[in-house]
Amino acid sequence: RVAVVDAGSPRNALATHMQGFLSRDGTPPGELAAAGRSEITGYGGEVVEDRVEGAERAGGDGSGFLVRLAGGRVLRARRLLVATGLRDELPDLPGLSERWGEDVLHCPYCHGYEVRDTPLGVLGTMDGSVHQALLIRNWSQDVVFFPHTLGLAGHEREELDARGVRVVEGEVERLVVDGGRLRGVRLADGTVVPRDTLFVSPRFVANDELLVALGCGSDEDGSAEADSFGCTSMPDVWVAGNVVDPAAQVVDAVSQGSRAAVAINGDLVDEEVRRAVGERRAAQSGNGSGTARAGRRGADSPLRCRFAGAV
* 29 and 99 inside one domain: no
Give the count of domains, the chain.
2
Q: Is the pLDDT of residue 292 over 80?
A: no
The domain boundary residue, chosen from 201, 232, 259: 201
Assess if residue 18 is contained within a domain.
yes
Q: How far is it, in rounded angstroms, from Cα 103 to Cα 53?
A: 34
* 60 and 127 inside one domain: no
Confidence of residue 303 (pLDDT cuts 50, 70, 90): low
* 99 and 193 inside one domain: yes
The domain boundary residue, chosen from 201, 217, 241: 201
Section 115-137 average pLDDT: 97
* 52 and 95 inside one domain: no
Lowest mean pLDDT among 109-123, 242-256, 281-295: 281-295
Domain region containing 244: 3-87+204-285
Confidence of residue 288 (pLDDT cuts 50, 70, 90): low
Predicted local confidence at residue 219, as pLDDT: 83
| Buried/exposed 271-296: b ≥16 CB within 10 Å, e otherwise | beebeeebeeeeeeeeeeeeebebbb
Assess if residue 137 is contained within a domain.
yes
* 151 and 245 inside one domain: no
* 141 and 59 inside one domain: no
Predicted local confidence at residue 254, as pLDDT: 96
Convert the pLDDT of each residue in 33-88 to its tens digit: 999 999 999 999 999 999 999 999 997 666 799 999 999 999 999 999 999 999 99
**pTM of the prediction?**
0.88
* 97 and 177 inside one domain: yes
Predicted local confidence at residue 134, as pLDDT: 98
Assess if residue 300 is contained within a domain.
no
Convert the pLDDT of each residue in 156-193 to its tens digit: 999 999 999 999 999 999 999 999 999 999 999 999 99
Predicted local confidence at residue 173, as pLDDT: 98
* 96 and 196 inside one domain: yes
Predicted local confidence at residue 311, as pLDDT: 36
Assess if residue 296 is contained within a domain.
no
Convert the pLDDT of each residue in 16-30 to its tens digit: 889 899 999 999 999
Average pLDDT over the chain reads 91
Confidence of residue 299 (pLDDT cuts 50, 70, 90): very low
* 151 and 211 inside one domain: no
- What is the residue type of 161? D
The domain boundary residue, chosen from 201, 230, 257: 201
* 67 and 124 inside one domain: no
Q: How far is it, in rounded angstroms, from Cα 306 to Cα 311?
A: 11
Q: What is the CATH number of the domain that holds 24?
A: 3.50.50.60
Q: Is the pLDDT of residue 297 over 60?
A: no
Task: Taking the CA atoms of 223, 228, 233 and 238 in sequence, report the sign of the dihedral they define.
Answer: positive
Section 125-154 average pLDDT: 97
Convert the pLDDT of each residue in 224-276 to its tens digit: 899 999 999 999 999 999 999 999 999 999 999 999 999 999 999 999 999 99
Q: How far is it, in rounded angstroms, from Cα 155 to Cα 117?
A: 26
Assess if residue 20 is contained within a domain.
yes
Q: Which residues pair with 181 in a beta bridge?
A: 178
Assess if residue 149 is contained within a domain.
yes
Predicted local confidence at residue 205, as pLDDT: 94
Q: At what angle do helices 129-136 and 154-162 cross, to 10 degrees?
A: 10
On the 0-12 / 13-18 / 19+ scale of CB atoms within 10 A, 40 is middle
Convert the pLDDT of each residue in 90-99 to its tens digit: 999 999 999 9
Assess if residue 177 is contained within a domain.
yes
* 77 and 104 inside one domain: no
* 210 and 83 inside one domain: yes
The Cα angle at residue 55 between residues 231 and 84, in degrees rounded to 5: 60
Assess if residue 229 is contained within a domain.
yes
Convert the pLDDT of each residue in 4-17 to its tens digit: 999 999 999 988 88
Predicted local confidence at residue 63, as pLDDT: 75
